[in-house]
Amino acid sequence: MLTFIAIASATTNSTEEPDVEHYELLSNSGSLLAYSTAISNNDFKKSKEFLSQLHIYKPDNLDIIEQLFSLSLINGDFEEAKQFALLFDDLQKVTDSEIQEHFFLKSFLMLENLKQGKIKKAKTYIAKSNDFIYDEMSYNFTKGWIAYEEDHTLITVDSFNKVKDISILNVYYLIHQALLADLQDRHKDADTYYAEALQVGGMKIDVVDAYGRFLERTGREKQAFALYNDFENRSGENRLISKARERLISGVKPRPYVENSKDAIGYMFYHIADMYKITGHVSKSMKYARLAQFLLSNDEYVVQVLAQNYQIYGKYIDANVELEKIIKSSPFYKNAQINIAQNLNRNGQEDLALATIVKLYDKNKVEDDVYLTYANLLVMDEKYNQAIDIYTSIINSRKLLTVNDADLFFARATTYDAADDWAKAEIDLKKTIELYPNHMQALNYLGYTWIDKGVNLEAGLKMINKALSVNRMNQDIIDSLGWAYYKLGKYKLAKVELERAAKIAPNSADISDHLGDVYWKLDRKLEAKFKWQQATIYKSEFIDYDDLAYKLEHGLDALHKKNSTEKVK
């Protein structure tokens, strides 16, 4: 973008007569501003639309062309990405440069030639990125798989070995060695590498899927069953594993996880996209995921990474466009539909969200993720009794309650409380703590509510202190502790804790409201009113704003007197 601004300023400061093209570019400065705004809002479709208008006036500007390529790639417009990549390459041969520039553009051209079977030309575009770790991964695995594409008998791939000793990449070295051995029917080697990859990298679902398929295809059904059972024992029920088990029972042999070098390179780009997503580098994750999608089409793993990135950007409809690509027969379909419902809700389309999840709901078959999503959406829609019924169905489906069920009771407890049934909420909160004694939220919720109601004050204080021992920097728990001291009449201690909470969360309306009450009790009336005024700005669903307005006008003592009089009446 700085390049475009420089173009305009340089010409403006020139003593020469501006040409017609300059006037046309300046007349489109609105496009540049609109582009900048769209980019800052992560609106990649609008960004491309505005930048395309500038491209009309600067058709040979390499910065504009490369940015249009990047935006087309991020948007999944592969045909347009190809046009811009080829145009850039025609104007400036990217293969002529050894330096780490134009990585995604080069990689795209490499994949385009690989798809067309032009292996020799594809090799000229193998690129290095500017990130050492992922550079080693993408560069060496790409080189290795293209070498395999040239010679299918190749057993030792030198470039694979270059990442072997990089600890963070060791698991991917093992995975790609396993995939290579699997493709070449070197069963013993594949078995060794798959098993070691699971040991080094944990029970990653995609590796379990690849290894399981290998075991099934090579006639080791018992080992495949054991692998799937082991995964679910560690991670819980999984629809992909359930489908694999059904396949095993039917005797149908699965396809290999990857069938050629193109699949393997796409799989590698997916892994890099996933790692960038986890570390918060969303733009790079999007580009790597699109490179993977360019090879793997609508692979479910890739689609999910793209959707998750859009969700991070707050682009929930774009996320759903990706998730809708997962077909009904896929083991990932229900997970995708659950995410679609959640995204619709985040986008303010509550009715559509509920309609989406209702299609998955089967009252005769409890599926935790479907039921929980449905219940949570009902809570947000303030349909508390329906939500309670669904939480209860999940609880009743349990043969044995474990620590993993503590959150279920906590969810039902807060829903009972929202439905003005504190007696049942209290029972569920106690059950939550019984199942998981260090459940921070339940300890804080029960302790705070007891103190707020003026009952079990000492027990409530102990609970809050226990919750605080789990997380000493949680502003909500520190707020609860301060409020507990306030209720106990220990105003100086309350001040210390609430001021500490306010430093952590200066924009919290609840903390400001509580701190205002404490200041009032300490005869710091101006500071009290200032804090109450802050609470009117920040807003909270837990504050009675009529009471807050009354406090601001008449003071805390007058509010207590008014409320006491109303209770007597």
**Cut 0.95: pTM above it:** no
Tokens of 49: 């639309």
What is the CB neighbour count within 10 angstroms for residue 450? 22
Question: Is 265 within a domain?
Answer: no
Query: Where does the pLDDT of residue 9 fall: very low under 50, low under 70, confident under 90, or very high at 90 and above?
Result: very low
What are the distances in angstroms from CA 488 to CA 1, 460, 496, 523, 567? 59, 11, 14, 17, 22
Domain containing 510 equals: 456-569
User: Per the domain annotation, does 541 fall within a domain?
Assistant: yes
For residue 436, is it within any domain?
Answer: no
* Average pLDDT rounded to a whole number, residues 56-65: 91
Question: DSSP E strands: which ranges in 246-401?
Answer: none
Q: Is the pLDDT of residue 24 over 50?
A: no
Domain of 531, CATH number, reads 1.25.40.10
The DSSP letter of residue 92 is S
Q: Is residue 530 part of a domain?
A: yes
In a domain, 531, yes or no: yes
| Higher pLDDT pick, 127 / 274 | 274
Q: What pLDDT score was predicted for residue 158?
A: 86
Distances in Å between the alpha carbon of 372 and those of 54, 345, 377? 49, 14, 8
**342 Cβ contact list (under 8 Å, min separation 6):** 353, 373
515 occurs within a structural domain: yes
Which DSSP string corresponds to 182-210?
HHTT-HHHHHHHHHHHHHHH---HHHHHH
CB atoms closer than 10 angstroms to residue 107: 26
Count of the separate structural domains present in the chain: 1
Q: What is the mean pLDDT of the chain?
A: 91
Let me know if residue 460 belongs to a domain: yes
Instruction: Considering only residues 566 and 305, tell me which one the structure prediction assigns the higher pLDDT.
Output: 305
The model's pLDDT over 203-253, given as tens digits with 9 standing for 90+, comes to 899 999 999 999 999 999 999 999 999 999 998 889 999 999 999 999 999
Is 195 inside any structural domain?
A: no
